[in-house]
Amino acid sequence: MALRSAGSGKVSRDAVHHPLFARCYARISVNAETRMGMGDIRDRLLTGLSGRVIEIGAGNGLNFAHYPSAVSEVVAIEPERLLRKLAVESALRAGVPVDVVPGAAEALPVKSEAFDAVVLSLVLCSVRDVPRALGEVRRVLRPGGVVRFFEHGRGGGRAMLLTQRALDRTVWPLVSGGCHVSRDPVAALREAGFELGPHRRVMMPEKGPVLPSSYCVLGTAWRPAEEQPG
């Protein structure tokens, strides 16, 4: 595993502590693999990756089984203690080497430009500081490196957006482990200086009721191979 960078900042071992949410998420996410098609989403998210990968917000490690054999190493960052424990168990069953590490997206405990790819899977909704987290993504990714993302955020018409914003101001973050439903992950990546590649809207669940958390996006972005002068 790449060692902590001097510029990454300090972060507590358990930067996030949502034990009740973690227990609920662990059960719901396993059921979603087949009932909501999340297994297929993970395959599409990770296909074609190779080299060294850092996964930020690994949760209980359900992505690990879907990494292609061309991946030489996965460093999986997870701040929540219970989910991290489950991720370690998932790592033992993975077909590629996975090292599960405590840490927060805003202060990644790894060296700069150490990875060929970054995986973001339902994590930008929950980080405390999206611009800072994406700044860390740029820091740890080599020039020309790829970002694979599957995120949920704002969507629907005006009524849905108003509902999402109202939920974010009130109960949603409290009951969902700090999650927000009205963020715009594609705009955030663009504003952080990434080059956006193919991306498309995905509804979760694909069939059934439309929820404030249903509007997802699956796509690819890159850190520019040549950085623009500041």
Digit-coded pLDDT (tens) for 126-182:
999 999 999 999 999 999 999 999 999 999 999 999 999 999 999 999 888 889 999
- Higher pLDDT residue, 1 or 145? 145
Is 33 a residue whose pLDDT tops 50?
yes
Question: CATH for 19-222, among 3.50.50.60, 3.40.630.30, 3.40.50.150, 3.30.360.10?
Answer: 3.40.50.150
- Which positions ≥6 away from 36 have C-beta within 8 Å? 204, 205, 206
More confident residue, 102 or 17: 102
* Confidence at residue 28, expressed as pLDDT on a 0 to 100 scale: 63
**In whole angstroms, what separates CA 28 from the centre of its chain?**
17
Q: Convert the pLDDT of each residue in 90-121 to its tens digit.
A: 999 999 999 999 999 999 999 999 999 999 99
Asked if pLDDT for residue 26 goes beyond 80, the answer is no
Q: How far apart are CA 46 and CA 186, in angstroms?
A: 18
Whether the pLDDT of residue 229 is over 60: the answer is no
**Does the pLDDT of residue 124 top 60, yes or no?**
yes
pLDDT at 7 over 70: no
Is 60 exceeded by the pLDDT of residue 15? no
* Highest averaged pLDDT of the listed ranges 8-17, 46-55, 202-211: 46-55
Cα R_g (the chain), whole angstroms: 17
pLDDT digits (tens, 9 = 90+) for 171-221: 999 888 889 999 999 999 999 999 999 999 999 988 888 999 999 999 999
Rounded CA-CA distance 20/74 in Å is: 27
Q: Tell me which H or E stretch contains 56.
A: strand 51-56
Label residue 37 by pLDDT band (50, 70, 90): confident
- Coil, helix or strand at residue 41: helix
Domain ranges (residues) in the chain: 19-222
Ramachandran quadrant class, 193 (left: phi over 0; alpha: psi -120 to 50; beta: rest): left
For 75-135, give the DSSP string.
EEE--BHHHHHHHHHHHHH-SS-EEEE--BTTB-SS-TT-EEEEEEES-TTT-S-HHHHHH
Would the pTM of this model clear 0.95, i.e. be above it? Answer: no
